[in-house]
Amino acid sequence: MRRAAKTDNNQKSIVEDLRAFGATVQPLHVLGQGCPDILVGYQGANYLMEIKTKRGKLTPDEENWHWEWRGTVHVVKTFDEATDVLLGVVG
């Protein structure tokens, strides 16, 4: 059975701030099943991001999805962490 998707309480503000920063953001959390929360486009590149609160941890579905994905997924907890990803400060 498919689980209902939910968002962390900081997701809305991070998405708004990323858009103001000049990124495009496609919410993916509605897909559920461990799929990352957002797809971010910035300066010709795409980034998958899982948004967590300060103390948030990956769910078992998210851990499994990240493990099976053959690309990069970034776990971010703040707008600053998200922009570090976009600017190449973190890998």
Q: What is the CATH number of the domain that holds 18?
A: 3.40.1350.10
Q: Is residue 65 part of a domain?
A: yes
pLDDT score recorded for residue 91: 58
Q: Is residue 53 part of a domain?
A: yes
Q: Which two tokens stand for residue 67?
A: 């493990």
Q: Give the CB-side neighbour count of residue 85, counting CA atoms within 13 A.
A: 23
Q: Is residue 16 part of a domain?
A: yes
Strand positions, DSSP E, the chain: 24-27, 38-42, 45-51, 73-76
**pTM of the predicted model, to two decimals?**
0.89
Boundaries of domain holding 66: 11-86
Q: Is residue 26 part of a domain?
A: yes
Q: How many domains does the chain have?
A: 1
Q: Is residue 91 part of a domain?
A: no
Q: Helices then strands (H, E): number in the chain? A: 3, 4
Q: Is residue 6 part of a domain?
A: no
Q: Tens digit of pLDDT per residue, the chain (91 long)? A: 455 467 889 999 999 999 999 999 999 999 999 999 999 999 999 999 999 999 999 999 999 999 999 999 999 999 999 999 999 987 5
